[in-house]
Amino acid sequence: MKDAEIQNNPLASAPLAGLIARFAVPSVIGMLVNAAYNITDQIFIGQIVGYLGNAATTVVFPFVQITLAFSQMSGIGTAANFNINLGAGRKEESENFVGTGLTMTAVMAVALFAIVMLFKAPILYLFGATDNVYPFAMQYLSIIVFGLPLQIFTNFSGVLIRADRSPSYSMICLVSGAIINVGLDALFMIVFHWGIYGAAAATVLGQVFSFCLCLRYFFHFKTFRIRSSSLRLRAEYVVQIIRLGFANFINHIVMATINIVLNNTLKYYGQFTVYGSNIPLAVSGIVAKLNSIMIACVVGTAQGCQPIWSFNMGAKNYARVKETYKKAIVVGLTVSFTAFALFQLFPRQITSIFGTGSDLYYQFAEQYLRVYMMMVFTYGIQPITINYFTSIGNMRQGTILSLSRQGFLLLPLLIILPYFMGLNGVLVAGPVADALAAVLSLLFVRASFHRLTKLSQQDQG
């Protein structure tokens, strides 16, 4: 790609506010749709099956996070390499990364499906199922498992389609599936009375439709025509894809691990309180789904900025890289402060959307939302910073930040604090980890901006 082509590319020259909106809005909607699959099921299950059904989806939720981890690793890794090489003028390299990413994702999707099919029962107990919750969780997972490979490919495709400058099509792929899911939830659960099986079946059928739309796009790729020869699984490209997608993979894997530990901690310490084991488990799932809405807005914004960061890093336009980060952070903090206000002011009203329960159920839900999510207004900083580092090719910083809030901070706190404080220790762990992770993220960005300034001065000198 010639210098003139690079400078005339919208990623390098278009006004930033409009460009970020163009890529981020469809990305946010796509992420919200991904969250909507689980939230819709949670609402219908909570209203029709009850809080034990909500607890069942809580137990299954780590499966969703694990599939997202693999799709984000291949999607972000492929898209970042694709855009970096395109920005540097290496078009053939870009094509090979796309082809390798497609094949790599298909292999991972099939492998994960096989593992879950073989070990459903032990995995559910490992993820925190109680004896009362297990039958509902098994019913739900037995259907959902068939959609896991489709979900991996669809999430991967959404990132890559946006990187190919088709953010609207990416949004359509996900939104259409979600609309089908909502409609079928109502049909299967209210009209056909299929219970939790109906919720799971509706989700899978929605995923089938989204998958077909995504698959169709790759026959009409914008930047170049994807040839069969580029689909070969090249080890050196796989390594580079994993390298740039690893921070996002680790982030979601650690999030899944946190939810597994959280489920088991709530189950164990809950039995020594008036709430028992099932109420904390059900409430935790609701809060996780609520949190996924905020995550969708923040991470969707960061993913929308990914092509801009990667392309301009490859083109050595460092000032535009920094300015994009600053604008993304403003959006992230706005979302975080809004979520904080809602959780603090309306905890009971929000919880009641997901079904009814006893006074003890609502009492614990209000306490959980107000205490565990106390520092949620800082949440917009870390995910955007993680994506910033992976998009510009700094895997080490991105990986450290991915591990910081969940692995280095929250996980030890969830183990240590309940030992001294019981169930209250679980609630306190969240805000402490959020605050420390935000500070660390800002320190890393400050150092990165200093480095980019030096690089810019060297290029000018």
The predicted-structure confidence for 24-65, as pLDDT tens digits, reads as follows 887 787 677 767 766 777 788 888 888 888 888 889 888 888
Sign of CA dihedral 294, 304, 18, 449: positive
- Helices 167-185 and 195-217, interaxial angle, to 10°? 160
| DSSP-assigned letter for residue 376 | G
Given a contact cutoff of 8 angstroms between Cβ atoms, the answer to whether 452 and 318 are in contact is: yes
Q: How confident is the model at residue 413 (pLDDT cuts 50, 70, 90)?
A: very high
pTM greater than 0.85: no
11 within a domain of the structure (yes/no): no
Q: What contacts 117, CB < 8 A, 6 or more positions away?
A: 145
Tell me the C-alpha distance between 444 and 386, whole Å.
10
The predicted-structure confidence for 365-391, as pLDDT tens digits, reads as follows 999 999 988 998 998 898 899 889 988
CA nearest 60: which of 270, 209, 256, 252? 256
The predicted-structure confidence for 223-238, as pLDDT tens digits, reads as follows 888 888 888 888 899 9
Residue type, 45: I
1 within a domain of the structure (yes/no): no
The predicted-structure confidence for 261-303, as pLDDT tens digits, reads as follows 999 999 999 999 999 999 998 888 888 878 888 888 888 888 8
Structure tokens at 57: 């989806």
65 within a domain of the structure (yes/no): yes
The predicted-structure confidence for 128-152, as pLDDT tens digits, reads as follows 999 999 999 999 999 999 999 999 9
Q: Is the per-residue pLDDT at 1 higher than 60?
A: no
User: Which pLDDT score, from 0 to 100, does residue 48 have?
Assistant: 87
For residues 69-80, average pLDDT: 91
Average pLDDT, the chain: 88
Tell me the C-alpha distance between 301 and 31, whole Å.
9
Tell me the C-alpha distance between 102 and 71, whole Å.
11
- CA 109 remoteness from chain centre: 17
Q: How confident is the model at residue 117 (pLDDT cuts 50, 70, 90)?
A: very high
Q: How many domains does the chain have?
A: 1
Domain that holds residue 176: 17-460
130 within a domain of the structure (yes/no): yes
User: Which pLDDT score, from 0 to 100, does residue 240 have?
Assistant: 92
2 within a domain of the structure (yes/no): no
The Cα diameter of the chain in Å comes to 72
Q: How confident is the model at residue 4 (pLDDT cuts 50, 70, 90)?
A: low
Residue type, 250: I
Q: How confident is the model at residue 241 (pLDDT cuts 50, 70, 90)?
A: very high
Q: Is the per-residue pLDDT at 2 higher than 60?
A: no
The angle at the Cα of 221, spanning 220 to 225, to the nearest 5 degrees, equals: 90
3 within a domain of the structure (yes/no): no
10 within a domain of the structure (yes/no): no
8 within a domain of the structure (yes/no): no
